[in-house]
């Protein structure tokens, strides 16, 4: 059985690119924290809002995308 191995793609990411990506990640994380705090407050009041739930989910997906981009830059 042969295993195919692929080398990681490398590229020269500047520290500026990494800082920008990390800044975008931090901004998305702050938005996530605010929206999640709002969602938790609504849950505690037993008035969870579907719009807030969707907002938190969208921000969470954006965080995942930013994290992947940052990881790729760090590996390059």
Closest among 51, 28, 24, 29 to 38, alpha carbons compared: 51
Residue whose structure tokens are 């990390």: 22
Provide the domain limits for residue 28: 15-75
**pTM > 0.85:** no
Name the percent of the chain lying above pLDDT 90.
Answer: 50
User: What is the average pLDDT across 37-56?
Assistant: 89
Residue 9 lies in a domain: no
Residue 50 lies in a domain: yes
Q: Which of 10-14, 41-45, 63-67 has the lowest mean pLDDT?
A: 10-14
Residue 7 lies in a domain: no
Number of domains in the chain: 1
């Amino acid at each position: 059985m042969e295993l195919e191995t692929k080398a990681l793609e490398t590229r020269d990411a500047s520290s500026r690119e990494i800082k920008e990506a990390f800044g975008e990640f931090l901004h998305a994380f702050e938005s996530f924290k605010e929206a999640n705090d709002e969602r938790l407050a609504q849950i505690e009041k037993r008035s969870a809002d579907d719009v807030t739930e969707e907002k938190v989910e969208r921000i969470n997906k954006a965080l995942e995308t930013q994290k992947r981009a940052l990881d790729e830059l760090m590996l390059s």
